Structure 1
Amino acid sequence: MLEAIIFDMDGVLIDSEYSYFEAKDSILKDEGIIVPSSYHSKFMGTSYLYTWETMKKELDLSQSADTYIKEMINRRKEIIKRDGIKPIKGAQDLIKRLKSAGAKLAVASSSPLTEIEKSLTEIGIYADFSIITSGEEVEHSKPAPDVYLLAAKRLGVKPKNCIAIEDSPNGSIAVKKANMVGIGFANPDYPTLDLVSDVVVNTFSDLDYVKCQAIYQQFAK
């Protein structure tokens, strides 16, 4: 039976990917490096450390990963100050519908815990989640299943009795590795990504607890 629904945050609950892209692009341009936007897509759903350690190797960057992480965080703060934290269209209403239906909800994000708390609080849904888990708390970043398995453990449920909602290839792989039923969110405002989710939706407007239960029953193993 379906016991819990677990959400990624970036790209699923908040529209943050553009700010990561912009912050990273500006840092790389300062280094004299220009990459296509598709380059950043492969890091969606992964931790800051994994992202910058990989970029450092691939692009032969001169400074430490930690230095770039701090600079990215500072530049994102300026972007968010300029634009505010933007919820994904329909995400807040979906969370409220699921909560009202009695669903047990959690977040499993690669972002730092303080950033998760701040973002969810600002868009008014932090209190709707029973559990929050961060990539900082696990050894391996997505596409490893660690953060999802930790969320299930804290919820006191079996991973196979969970649905997880993801928007990135790495995240959707993590869901599969965790043996959870996966719903992929393909944001129509961004390039199409290769999700391995059981079901892919491009809007949250017609998703509710009844439909989540039906999806779970169809794909649960």
Structure 2
Amino acid sequence: MSLKAVLFDMDGVIVDTEPLHKKAYYQMFSELEIEVSEDLYASFTGASTKRVCETLIRKYNLSHTHEGLTDIKRTYFKDYFYNDEDFDLIPGVRELMKHYHENGIKLIVASSASMVTIKMVFEKFGIEKYFSGKISGADLKESKPHPEIFLLAAQMANEPNENCMVIEDSTNGILAAHKANIFCAAYKSLHSKKQDYALANIVVSDYSELELDKISGYFK
């Protein structure tokens, strides 16, 4: 086995849209007049907006459809996406993408975010050129921690699972990679609170630790 493809999660790995999502969600909660605890909010990490909205509808007995809630949240999110001054790529990730790309490694994004959001990020930061494919979990039947998204990403890269590596930052994403039987590098950021890295193959807090010469021992 040798490393041929890297499957990137997006949120918390390429960009940190979590603070933007959080602001957007809490704006929505306020509009709906519901109280959502920090613990409940933390449990949503890595889940699709659809799944979060379905959970809220059930828990708070809301009369909205999940599509209706998604529209409210998306409007707030877009506003933050284009206007929040702190929003940028995660430090070191552009260099890592470039490094893999120049070394002939295929890159696929496999994110729970909607395809609309994935495209917004790719366009805003000009990273399209590094990737050979993108998959949105919002278009799939199953959500992480189900392995479907990573199994499809490996197929899209046209590589066996043992030649792939997933980069993830959430408990659900790491579990999905583990279930897919794909090597998983967990990126531990300042923002990844209450996430469990036990099932990751390696844990890093700086992307330079994932350069090919540093991880070659894992892919013989």
TM-score w.r.t. structure 2 length?
A: 0.91
CA pair 213-169 structure 1, distance change in 2 beyond 3 A:
same
2:50 is aligned to 49
**1:42-85 Cα distance to aligned partner (Å, 9 max, x none):** 22222121111012212333322111101110000111122165
- The within-5 A match list for 1:187-206 is 187-195=189-197, 196-206=199-209
> Are the aligned partners of 2:169 and 2:192 in contact in 1 as well (CA < 8 Å)?
no
> Are the aligned partners of 1:10 and 1:16 in contact in 2 as well (CA < 8 Å)?
yes
One-letter amino acid of the structure 2 residue matched with residue 140 of structure 1: E
Secondary structure at the counterpart of residue 206 of structure 1: helix
Secondary structure at the counterpart of residue 207 of structure 2: coil
One-letter amino acid of the structure 2 residue matched with residue 106 of structure 1: I
One-letter amino acid of the structure 1 residue matched with residue 148 of structure 2: D
Give the Cα separation in 2 of the matches to 1:206 and 1:92.
14
> Are the aligned partners of 2:13 and 2:90 in contact in 1 as well (CA < 8 Å)?
yes
Q: CA RMSD in A?
A: 1.7
Give the Cα separation in 2 of the matches to 1:86 and 1:61.
34
1:159 is aligned to 161
Give the Cα separation in 2 of the matches to 1:123 and 1:183.
23
Secondary structure at the counterpart of residue 14 of structure 1: coil
Equivalent of 1:211, from 202, 206, 214? 214
Shift, 1:192, TM fit: 4.2
**1:71-124 Cα distance to aligned partner (Å, 9 max, x none):** 110000111122165211111111111112221211111112232122022212
How many residue pairs are counted as aligned between the two chains? 217
1:134 aligns with 2:140: no
> Are the aligned partners of 1:52 and 1:65 in contact in 2 as well (CA < 8 Å)?
yes
Identity value in percent: 31
1:107 aligns with 2:97: no
**1:1-37 Cα distance to aligned partner (Å, 9 max, x none):** 2221110011100110111111111111223223333
One-letter amino acid of the structure 1 residue matched with residue 209 of structure 2: D
